[in-house]
């Protein structure tokens, strides 16, 4: 397909694998407006979505029906992978083996530790580098908490608690994310954001065991919130449902109508608006995970996808004080010293768009790393640690037992310490 571009004088040439909402509406849009890097190629097997992506960005780049074709044809300084999670490891490995020196993969690194270790082997064989799309590290609020912890504002870290409420999370049950085999489960797909934050804040420790409980309480067939007529079935997806005018959980395609519509669905059979109550799901709509670290730190993460608001509420406790705050009000953090008066610490907020301004900073860091101007903000080891906690949480709630991280990966392995 032809969306020809002229040879660019910009130093950094980027290829994108995956033309969905995250790929085009986030990284594609940012690259189209970038001064020191250029999106030169996009790989996507759905031809209709690929054409829509070019129109959506109003930007010229070469298009390919497969990642393999793009990697064989293009000379790229970096590749960004934004496919469904179960394909992450495959495409990262393919990019490295094709000689791409820098790869950014949206979280998670893979859906299992096995996939993560495939990536590490490819890195060791090729010398390529991989960064993870942990955009929360670039949120000023999250970065400020880390700085306060490292500056000793609360003494020695003891406990981290996060309560996450995500109204948009119900749409997971309308999309591919609802299937454990495609997403690794929501403790991996969604939870790795939060587990990485815990791991990042607790830089002195490694996670050693996880206990989790989760389930479907609200988004199931017996919880449909309106009267159903015997002769009028619900669903199967919102766009054709007889009850779409009265359903309070009517789900629009999250990537936007340009990229996900009847035409794109006809091309590959994928729809984004399955009925969240009737869809064939095997993930959770709420849960709690407890993480223990080898330095006597504990972390608790609650996530709920059926609320009418979105927020993360944090409590970080040390032996000499407590930090409290939330992402709905990210411009301040409350410090409550164990001895002394409480105080509000201001936070310079980057912006409200693209995950609070975090996505542009994530991309800027990736480009700077390619240019050898800055170290990457995350490593494959970080990606492995987050997936290890997420996979352990999935095993824990599904098998109703505590899971040792050592069952999945040995962080004392010398090869992992070098990543």
Question: How does DSSP assign 132-156, residue by residue?
Answer: EE-GGGGSHHHHHHHHHHHTTTTSS
Parallel, antiparallel or unpaired: strands 78-81 and 102-106: parallel
Task: Identify the CATH number of the domain in which residue 102 sits.
Answer: 3.40.50.720
| 277 in a structural domain | no
Task: Please indicate, yes or no, whether residues 210 and 337 belong to a single structural domain of this protein.
Answer: yes
Task: Please indicate, yes or no, whether residues 263 and 316 belong to a single structural domain of this protein.
Answer: no
Spatial distance between the Cα atoms of 88 and 104, rounded to a whole number of angstroms:
10
Q: Which of 76, 107, 135 is the last residue of a domain?
A: 135
> How many degrees, rounded to 5, is the angle at CA 26 between CA 259 and CA 360?
170
**pLDDT tens per residue, the chain (419 residues)?**
444 455 455 689 999 999 999 999 999 999 999 999 999 999 999 999 999 998 889 878 999 999 999 999 999 999 999 999 999 999 999 999 999 999 999 999 999 999 999 999 999 999 999 999 999 999 999 999 999 999 999 999 999 999 999 999 999 999 999 999 999 999 999 999 999 999 999 999 999 999 999 999 999 999 999 999 999 999 999 999 999 999 999 877 788 888 999 899 999 999 999 999 999 999 999 999 999 999 999 999 999 999 999 999 999 999 999 999 999 999 999 999 999 999 999 999 865 555 668 999 999 999 999 999 999 999 999 999 999 999 999 999 999 999 999 999 998 876 665 55
| 202 in a structural domain | yes
Q: Can you give the pLDDT at residue 319?
A: 98
Is 139:355 a contact under the CB 8 Å cutoff? yes
DSSP H helices, 273-413, are: 353-356, 358-370, 380-399
Task: Please indicate, yes or no, whether residues 305 and 340 belong to a single structural domain of this protein.
Answer: yes
Spatial distance between the Cα atoms of 104 and 110, rounded to a whole number of angstroms:
12
Spatial distance between the Cα atoms of 335 and 169, rounded to a whole number of angstroms:
30
Reduced to 3 states, what is the DSSP secondary structure of residue 42? strand
Domain count, the chain: 3
| 352 in a structural domain | no
Task: Please indicate, yes or no, whether residues 63 and 178 belong to a single structural domain of this protein.
Answer: no
Task: Please indicate, yes or no, whether residues 150 and 129 belong to a single structural domain of this protein.
Answer: no
Nearest Cα to 321, choosing from 341, 343, 336, 342? 336
Q: Can you give the pLDDT at residue 228?
A: 97
Distance set, CA 185 to CA 112, 180, 199, 287, 393 (Å)? 10, 4, 20, 12, 9
**DSSP E strand stretches across 268-419:** 286-293, 298-304, 311-318, 321-326, 329-337, 343-346, 403-404
Q: Can you give the pLDDT at residue 253?
A: 78
| 372 in a structural domain | no
The residues, ordered by sequence, that sit 6+ positions from 373 with a Cβ below 8 Å of its Cβ are none
| 364 in a structural domain | no
Is 290:211 a contact under the CB 8 Å cutoff? yes
Task: Please indicate, yes or no, whether residues 65 and 179 belong to a single structural domain of this protein.
Answer: no
| 235 in a structural domain | yes
Q: Which of 112, 135, 158 is the last residue of a domain?
A: 135
Q: Can you give the pLDDT at residue 1?
A: 46
Task: Please indicate, yes or no, whether residues 97 and 204 belong to a single structural domain of this protein.
Answer: no
Reduced to 3 states, what is the DSSP secondary structure of residue 315? strand
> How many degrees, rounded to 5, is the angle at CA 197 between CA 192 and CA 202?
125
Q: Which of 115, 135, 155 is the last residue of a domain?
A: 135
Q: Can you give the pLDDT at residue 356?
A: 67
The residues, ordered by sequence, that sit 6+ positions from 15 with a Cβ below 8 Å of its Cβ are 39, 40, 41, 42, 43, 70, 71, 74, 76, 78, 79, 80, 100
Task: Please indicate, yes or no, whether residues 215 and 286 belong to a single structural domain of this protein.
Answer: yes
| 50 in a structural domain | yes
Task: Please indicate, yes or no, whether residues 297 and 179 belong to a single structural domain of this protein.
Answer: yes
| 203 in a structural domain | yes
* Largest Cα span, the chain: 67
Task: Please indicate, yes or no, whether residues 142 and 131 belong to a single structural domain of this protein.
Answer: no
Reduced to 3 states, what is the DSSP secondary structure of residue 216? coil
HEC profile of 195-210: HHHHHHHCCCCCEEEE
Record the tokens describing residue 197, joined without a space.
């934050």
Q: Can you give the pLDDT at residue 418?
A: 54
Nearest Cα to 362, choosing from 34, 87, 21? 34
Q: Can you give the pLDDT at residue 256?
A: 86
Task: Please indicate, yes or no, whether residues 264 and 299 belong to a single structural domain of this protein.
Answer: no
For the entire predicted model, the pTM comes to 0.94
Q: Which domain holds residue 100?
A: 12-135
Q: Can you give the pLDDT at residue 10?
A: 60
Task: Please indicate, yes or no, whether residues 29 and 148 belong to a single structural domain of this protein.
Answer: no
> How many degrees, rounded to 5, is the angle at CA 371 between CA 367 and CA 374?
75
Task: Identify the CATH number of the domain in which residue 290 sits.
Answer: 3.30.360.10
**DSSP E strand stretches across 207-270:** 207-215
Strand order in the sheet with 102-106: 62-64, 37-43, 12-17, 78-81, 102-106, 129-133
């Amino acid at each position: 397909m032809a969306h020809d571009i002229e040879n660019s004088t910009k130093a950094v040439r980027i290829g994108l694998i995956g033309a969905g909402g995250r790929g085009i509406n986030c990284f594609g849009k940012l690259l189209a407006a970038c001064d020191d890097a250029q999106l030169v190629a996009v790989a996507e097997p759905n031809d209709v979505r690929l054409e829509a992506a070019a129109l959506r960005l109003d930007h010229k780049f070469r298009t390919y029906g497969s990642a393999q074709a793009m990697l064989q044809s293009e000379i790229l300084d970096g590749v960004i992978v934004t496919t469904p999670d179960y394909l992450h490891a495959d495409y990262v490995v393919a990019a490295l083996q094709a000689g791409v020196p820098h790869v950014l993969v949206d979280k998670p690194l893979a859906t299992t530790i096995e996939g993560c270790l495939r990536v590490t082997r490819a890195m060791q064989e090729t010398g390529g580098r991989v960064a993870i799309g942990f955009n929360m590290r670039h949120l000023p609020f999250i970065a400020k908490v880390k700085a306060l912890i490292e500056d000793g504002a609360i003494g020695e870290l003891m406990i981290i608690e996060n309560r996450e409420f995500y109204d948009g999370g119900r749409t997971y049950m309308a999309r591919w994310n609802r299937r454990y085999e495609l997403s690794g489960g929501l403790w991996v797909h969604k939870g790795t954001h939060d587990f990485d934050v815990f791991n990042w804040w607790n830089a002195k420790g490694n996670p050693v065991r996880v206990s989790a409980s989760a389930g479907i309480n609200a988004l199931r067939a017996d919880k449909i919130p309106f009267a159903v007529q015997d002769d009028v079935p619900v669903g199967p997806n919102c766009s054709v449902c007889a009850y779409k005018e009265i359903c309070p959980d009517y789900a629009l395609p999250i990537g936007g109508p340009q990229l996900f519509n009847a035409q794109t669905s006809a091309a590959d059979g994928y729809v984004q608006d399955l009925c969240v109550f009737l869809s064939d799901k095997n993930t959770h709509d709420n849960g709690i995970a407890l993480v223990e670290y080898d330095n006597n730190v504990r972390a608790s993460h609650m996530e709920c996808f059926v609320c009418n608001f979105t927020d993360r509420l944090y409590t970080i406790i040390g032996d000499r004080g407590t930090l409290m705050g939330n992402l709905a009000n990210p411009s301040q953090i409350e410090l409550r010293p164990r001895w002394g008066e409480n105080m509000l610490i201001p936070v310079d907020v980057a912006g409200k768009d693209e995950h609070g301004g975090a996505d542009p900073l994530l991309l800027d860091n990736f480009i700077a790393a390619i240019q050898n101007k800055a170290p990457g903000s995350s490593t494959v080891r970080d990606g492995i640690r987050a997936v290890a906690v997420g996979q352990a949480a999935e095993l824990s709630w599904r098998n109703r037992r505590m899971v040792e991280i050592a069952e999945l990966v040995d962080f004392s392995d010398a090869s992992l310490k070098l990543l």
